[in-house]
Homo-oligomer: A and B are copies of this chain.
Amino acid sequence: MPGVRLPGLGAFQVWGSSTDVGKTLLSAGLAANSGNYLRNLRYIKPVQTGYPDDDDSLFVKRHAKPQRDVDVKVLLGYRDPVSPHRAVEASKAIEDSKLIQLVSEEIGRTSDSSISLVETAGGVLSPAPSGSLQADVYRPLRMTAVLVGSGQLGGISETLSAYESLLIRGYDVPVVFVFGTEHENHKAIDKAVDANVLVAPSPPPKTEPLTKYFEEDGLREAFSSTCKTIASYMNSTESRLRTLSEEAKDHIWWPFTQHATTNKVTTIDSAFGDDFTVATTDPKDKVNLSTQFDACSSWWTNGLGHGNPKLALEAAKGASRYGHVIFPEVAHQPAVDLTNLLLDNVGSTWADRVFFTDNGSTAVEVGLKMILRKRANDLYGRRDEYPWKNMKVIALEESYHGDTLGVMDCSPSSVFNATQMPWYKPNGIFLDPPTVSMRHSQWIIEGDKVLEKHGERKDLFAMEKRLTSSLAEDYRQQIKAVLASEEPEVIGGLLMEPVLQGAGGMRFIDPLYQRILADECQRTGIPVMVDEVFTGLWRLGAPSASQMLGIKPDVAAFAKLLTGGLLPLSVTLASDEIFKVFEGKKKEEALLHGHSYTAHPIGCQVAVHALQEYGKRFSGSGQQPQYWDNQMCKDISSMPNVNGVVNLGTVLAVRLAGSGSGYTATGSVAVTQALREKGIYARPLGNTVYLMCSPVTEVQKCDELISELKQTLSHVLEVREPAIAV
């Protein structure tokens, strides 16, 4: 699956604000008068109804004839002269993906120097043969849009609405063309849009021939200008894409990036579903667009797919109803709806309150303030000041909770923190937990030595059985020993990423260990906080990773997938016991933490939509699919130079054998580089290579991806060291 080449700069699409506004008329005019601006303009009509009696392509060919012999093509013809979704009823349906593949291939048939004009059917939101809305169907190709508006009475509104429908689906609309000047619609349209508005006289009534009309100087001038405008827009787009990466490299300071060694910058022109549309410049300085599968799930955020039109509409709804409104002592519908959804879902068995912040880091900082205050209250009772300077959290080795100082202090010393901030101080009692990975088709639990082996992943989560095992007893004793070795005043709480440590290298912690750790803490009055920023909301195949462990935390942080992968918003859920500690007569007793955009309505609105969508797909009877084929995982786990495989929900991680380890290791660079050449945008994570899909990725896609990964591993790893055998 090499990255799919997109028509991008080699094609544009003609849309109508409604049916019968002159799309074909304009197409014919452009085809005839493309001249020097749009060289070798070709015409493609993907869907033609009333065919062959109606055939827009013949109309275009005939009326362009005096100027040029235009290459024209109809891809799908339906006999009924009705909307495509109804015409198809009597015929066989065609899937959206198939339709855009046909269009893409047809455009690809053109020579490098020619431009394709693709004419749509009906209005922008007319149903395609599948019944999906046309503007949604063509969105993956994201061709430059030319909108034909209406010159009739009422046409201003119709045109502007159609224009907005294209914009809110991520299209660029540089040109709006209007036939008819009598109502001066073009003037009002010009005032309202951010596009070039061009106008031509109305054609004669349908009964009269168009020959004379097409010969009018004014008309030819309008068509010619339109071609020039389209060409100029496409050229300027190409220029911008050519220089964008250099501009970025010169002035942007990227996160987690060593600029001195950065060579390759990826220019992302747009994104849709699981794919980025990436621009590259070839040796002839021509810009090409192709797809790259977003295998890092854009830092693990991608929820409902990039450029999701429903999510974009929800964002616009939130923005236009409220903008942002201040939150303390305020109720607004999206925040209340989101609160209810979260408490009914991931918080259903334990949480009573939702606190809003902006990202995972701040959500965990808030959670820290919650659990530490709770613990201090339990230890010392209500006081104005606590003797709590030495309080620490129990945390795990290789943990990562974000980059602000408070959460940095919860991770052991590493490159993330020690050289980054003078005030960094590891305020944790750090435990080294046993981990799990698949090697030679077996799930192996390992601490200092191999502890257990299991055939199926689900065995690892069979808590009822495992809690009575001798391993459980070992864990319990170890944990008890740690808790007993510290003064109770020193232990402020437990903080951990449940099940899978992300930035730590996709480390799968033995679920039994975390279960017992949480149980023992709560049994001895130590508050338990889980950082579900990465693991929560269906990332690992369940609403929350805590549920997979069967624990009821006191505090939990969620972010990333919360907004469906659109924008920053995070929440910290807490139990009533935690909340009550902050109630009192004095303002100072409250939790004095807040950010300007706390619970911003636009974020809450899209989060409500995202949670509802996840719910519809996976809750109740619906199950999340097995994204990564089990047999393929087993195969990879048996490959030489592979040190272990983890597949959990949307995550597939392969730890490579090699000398380096940890975050700065470069073992996986060669593999991710090879994957990118195949159209898979993977990012290295120390000596781990991972693929991550969104919760809504099709399994078939995952099958292709894992197959590519396997092949890539076998090619690239041949030249590397042997794996560790177990």
Q: Does A18 contact B (CB under 8 A)?
A: yes
Given A324-B565, A415-B587, A492-B422, decide whether A595 and B403 contact each other with a Cβ distance below 8 A: yes
| A 259-296 contacts with B by CB, 8 A | 259-262, 264-271, 276, 294, 296
Q: Does A725 contact B (CB under 8 A)?
A: no
Q: Does A404 contact B (CB under 8 A)?
A: yes
A288–B568 Cα distance when bound, in Å, is: 33
Given A325-B306, A328-B254, decide whether A164 and B167 contact each other with a Cβ distance below 8 A: no
A369–B422 Cα distance when bound, in Å, is: 8
Please state if B421 and A188 are interface contacts (CB–CB under 8 Å).
no
Which residues of chain B are near A330, meaning CB under 8 Å?
248, 254, 265-268
Please state if B320 and A307 are interface contacts (CB–CB under 8 Å).
yes
Given A565-B323, A588-B419, decide whether A251 and B340 contact each other with a Cβ distance below 8 A: yes
Please state if A153 and B331 are interface contacts (CB–CB under 8 Å).
no
Which residues of chain B are near A302, meaning CB under 8 Å?
323-324
Please state if B326 and A294 are interface contacts (CB–CB under 8 Å).
yes
Identify which of A5-13, A198-206, A360-368, A625-633 touches chain B.
Answer: A360-368
Q: Does A427 contact B (CB under 8 A)?
A: yes
Please state if B162 and A595 are interface contacts (CB–CB under 8 Å).
no
Please state if A298 and B326 are interface contacts (CB–CB under 8 Å).
yes
Please state if A311 and B319 are interface contacts (CB–CB under 8 Å).
yes
Identify which of A54-62, A92-100, A383-391 touches chain B.
Answer: A383-391
Chain A, residues 424-453, CB within 8 Å of chain B (1/0): the string is 010100000000000000000000000000
A22–B438 Cα distance when bound, in Å, is: 66
Which residues of chain B are near A300, meaning CB under 8 Å?
596
Which residues of chain B are near A458, meaning CB under 8 Å?
none
Q: Does A317 contact B (CB under 8 A)?
A: yes
A391–B336 Cα distance when bound, in Å, is: 44
A664–B127 Cα distance when bound, in Å, is: 60
A270–B330 Cα distance when bound, in Å, is: 12
Distance of A186 from chain B, by nearest CB (Å): 13
Which residues of chain B are near A420, meaning CB under 8 Å?
369, 373, 591-593
- List the B residue with the shortest CB-CB distance to A20: B154
A169–B307 Cα distance when bound, in Å, is: 20
Distance of A523 from chain B, by nearest CB (Å): 23
Which residues of chain B are near A301, meaning CB under 8 Å?
324, 596-597
Which residues of chain B are near A306, meaning CB under 8 Å?
322-325
Q: Which of B122, B343, B664 contacts A157 (CB 8 A)?
A: B122
Chain A, residues 303-345, CB within 8 Å of chain B (1/0): the string is 0011111011101110111111111111111011001100100
Which residues of chain B are near A254, meaning CB under 8 Å?
327-330
Distance of A10 from chain B, by nearest CB (Å): 19
Q: Does A584 contact B (CB under 8 A)?
A: yes
Q: Does A598 contact B (CB under 8 A)?
A: yes
- List the B residue with the shortest CB-CB distance to A417: B592
A596–B558 Cα distance when bound, in Å, is: 12
Q: Which of B248, B268, B327 contacts A325 (CB 8 A)?
A: B268
Q: Does A103 contact B (CB under 8 A)?
A: no
A566–B251 Cα distance when bound, in Å, is: 25
Which residues of chain B are near A18, meaning CB under 8 Å?
18, 154-155, 157-158
Q: Which of B122, B142, B183, B294 contacts A83 (CB 8 A)?
A: B183
Given A265-B331, A331-B265, decide whether A592 and B326 contact each other with a Cβ distance below 8 A: no
Distance of A66 from chain B, by nearest CB (Å): 30
Which residues of chain B are near A343, meaning CB under 8 Å?
251
Please state if A253 and B359 are interface contacts (CB–CB under 8 Å).
no
Given A156-B127, A322-B271, decide whether A405 and B404 contact each other with a Cβ distance below 8 A: yes
Q: Which of B170, B299, B409, B579 contacts A317 (CB 8 A)?
A: B170
Given A161-B161, A315-B316, A331-B265, decide whether A192 and B323 contact each other with a Cβ distance below 8 A: no
Please state if A406 and B421 are interface contacts (CB–CB under 8 Å).
yes
Please state if A331 and B157 are interface contacts (CB–CB under 8 Å).
no
A317–B376 Cα distance when bound, in Å, is: 48
Which residues of chain B are near A188, meaning CB under 8 Å?
83, 85, 127, 131
Given A123-B157, A388-B422, A405-B406, decide whether A327 and B270 contact each other with a Cβ distance below 8 A: no
| A 361-414 contacts with B by CB, 8 A | 361-362, 365, 368-369, 372-373, 376, 384-386, 388-391, 402-406, 409
| Beyond A266-B329, A419-B588, 9 extra complex contacts between A and B, CB < 8 Å | A165-B165, A167-B320, A257-B329, A259-B583, A266-B330, A298-B325, A307-B322, A312-B320, A323-B566
Q: Which 10 A-B pairs have the closest CB atoms?
A: A123-B157, A255-B594, A19-B154, A405-B406, A248-B331, A170-B320, A170-B321, A161-B161, A306-B323, A312-B319
27 contacts between A and B (CB under 8 A): A122-B153, A125-B156, A133-B160, A157-B162, A158-B161, A160-B165, A165-B165, A168-B313, A168-B320, A170-B317, A252-B339, A252-B353, A253-B354, A255-B595, A256-B592, A259-B590, A298-B325, A300-B596, A360-B595, A361-B595, A362-B404, A384-B419, A388-B422, A391-B423, A403-B594, A415-B592, A568-B603
